[in-house]
Chain A
Amino acid sequence: MAVIRDMMPAFELFQPTSVDEALDVLERHDNTWVLAGGLDSMDWFKDRIKRPDVVVELGSVSELTGIRASGDGLEIGAMTSLRDVVANEDVRSRFGLLADAAAQVATPQIRNQGTLGGNLIQDTRCWYYRGGWPCYRAGGNICYAGTPRSMNREHAVTGQSRCVAVNGADTAGALVALGAQMLVRSAGGERVYEAEDFFVGPEIDIERMTVLEPGDLLTHVHIPGDWAGARFYWETARDRKSWDWALASVAAAIVESNGTIERARIAINGVAPTPVRLTDVEDLIQGMPANDDTGMAAGELATRGFKPLRHNDYKVPLARNLVRRAVRGDMA
């Protein structure tokens, strides 16, 4: 069979108007695909690498869009556009970390079309995997990116387990740092995951990025009020200032009192197959002053045990410095 790319094959399209209807379609068909903004999906379809028979497009499911108060926090529908997340006054004023991260995603056009849920569950950008190579993540037996000669400057420096791909979702780190919960529905009911448990590394399941299985829908993201108004720090390092994924990014929520760090929640992304919450660092810096020494200690601890590949050693100091900046309290 000859290979052809960049030309979408046909599939059956469903456009349900409710979650129940969507779940029903997913339940009734095999080889399904859930389509949100389509920015990740279309690439796969066009390259004919992921070939669903049935595509369930969620654009008409109104219960999945919108941002509303929930307890002392917010609940954001998974289909809410990144633009709406960025523009939302509550998000900006109380959970600016998410607004900052969402505002850096790709380009304005992509933020108009792309959704929060889609950004979170996007597949990795490992170019071997996305090139249709039969790697572990694609059900094969080899990680082509992890060999001594591979081109892996954008790959993982930690958390590798056969697969060395990274999670590239800009909003993922921010939601981990905000202690968000992911609400998942399937025909079997609703499940709730802590943000950091929502993402799955290759040691657990090498073919998925999140806990979502066929038939599951991420419906909402709940952000508790715990970190509202904390000092936030978001930064992404990348090759271009737009339409680029993070070489490494940091998201931090830090509460200080009298010049010392009272509590903190920090995540880095772009360095491992999942966003990495830095609980050790959070413990370390508690009660310490927010300054460069603390930042450096935090950065060193965060990157201890990192195992760079042939071309990505630079990610070690990069991640260290991003954590350092987040902790020492740079203006983002």
Chain B
Amino acid sequence: MEILRTAPNPWGQEVLVGVAWDLLWAAAIAGFVFVVGHHLYVWIMAPKAPKTAPEPAQEVPERVERHSQASRTFHWLMAATMLTLLVTAFFPVIGVQFAWVTIHWIAGIVLTLLIIWHIIHASTKQDFWSVWTGAKEIGQAFQAAGKFLRRQPAKEERSGKYPLDQRAYHNAVTLVSLGVIVTGILMMVGVDTWFWASNPYFLSDSTWGLVFVLHGLCGVVLVTMVIAHVYFAIRPEKRWMTRSMIKGWITREEYLEHYDPDLWKLGTEPAGAELAGGSASSADPDGVVPA
């Protein structure tokens, strides 16, 4: 399988021009294998963790707000742009031809603006670090991985608002998205828009090659990640989370089952309490809330 494409530049020097589209298939297959593998694992082999009885330590309303209106709007808008970007990027590669360039870059700009909004919003209105992976989370990850490997039924640790896997996913998506966005913004220099004419000599040809390779790599990684994300979103045991991204709330039981009230303290975050039974909950973010 080819990973990178090179071509002789006008002076006969071999330069990178992009990723080989074989990678797209590899990414899709990786996503598929993960989905099938995970499903089989859960279905056949996964040890059932004993359900921990939630002990209400405080007054918990019937419905706990998990995602604010703004967060949910952000998430779905971002999902739409991301899908648009992936479809416009990869459908032509697999042979579905249409005029994709303008849609693609406009969607790219929308995504960029959304993410800028998200960063500002998260850093001003939310607990910015609540979804980031720190040393503690990494330690937990190692423990979980160890248990998984030993096939020990891990007692499901109740987490803070964002459990480890969500945090890890968020971090990975952040990295990859920033990769496509930064390279994509650079690539905007190479297309004609209503505001400027293309200037292909903005970067040297070998630098362009690198930019295209990064954009392509991040793009195909996103394919795998989106497959995984959608998969988890529709898994039965995760549907309560999907629902929360649509409706905004989780039930009291779900809260107590999955979250450690010490780590996700209701009513401590600066946010607008919009829900009826909601003590002040997060007006939270982050598009990507999978597993």
Query: Given A144-B10, A147-B200, A162-B191, A203 and B101 touching (CB < 8 A)?
Result: yes
From 145 to 195 in chain B, residues with beta carbon under 8 angstroms from any chain A beta carbon are: 187, 190-192
A200 touches B17 (CB 8 A): no
A141 touches B212 (CB 8 A): yes
B209 at the interface (CB under 8 A from A): yes
CB-nearest residue of chain B relative to A307? B192
B37 at the interface (CB under 8 A from A): no
B10 touches A133 (CB 8 A): yes
Chain A residues positioned under 8 Å from B98 (CB to CB): 204
Of A1, A142, A161, A307, most B-chain CB atoms within 10 Å: A142
A146 at the interface (CB under 8 A from B): yes
B7 touches A134 (CB 8 A): yes
B15 touches A3 (CB 8 A): no
From 149 to 200 in chain A, residues with beta carbon under 8 angstroms from any chain B beta carbon are: 149, 160-162, 200
Chain A residues positioned under 8 Å from B10 (CB to CB): 131, 133, 144
Query: In the complex, A8→B8 CA distance in Å?
Result: 19
B17 touches A134 (CB 8 A): yes
Query: In the complex, A204→B18 CA distance in Å?
Result: 19
B208 touches A141 (CB 8 A): yes
B200 touches A142 (CB 8 A): yes
User: Min CB distance, A137 to chain B, in Å?
Assistant: 12
Query: In the complex, A60→B100 CA distance in Å?
Result: 40
A204 touches B97 (CB 8 A): yes
B18 touches A141 (CB 8 A): yes
Scan A101-143; emit 1 where CB is below 8 A from any B CB, else 0: 0000000000000000000000000000001111000111111
Chain B residues positioned under 8 Å from A148 (CB to CB): 197, 199
B201 at the interface (CB under 8 A from A): yes
Query: In the complex, A133→B13 CA distance in Å?
Result: 11
Query: In the complex, A205→B102 CA distance in Å?
Result: 13
B201 touches A147 (CB 8 A): yes
User: Min CB distance, A203 to chain B, in Å?
Assistant: 4
A160 touches B192 (CB 8 A): yes
A134 touches B15 (CB 8 A): yes
A162 touches B17 (CB 8 A): no
Partner of B97, one of A132, A144, A147, A205: A205
Chain A residues positioned under 8 Å from B199 (CB to CB): 147-148
Query: In the complex, A223→B15 CA distance in Å?
Result: 46
User: Min CB distance, B6 to chain A, in Å?
Assistant: 9
Query: In the complex, A149→B97 CA distance in Å?
Result: 31
A positions within 8 Å CB-CB of B: 1-3, 131-134, 138-144, 146-149, 160-162, 200-201, 203-205, 307
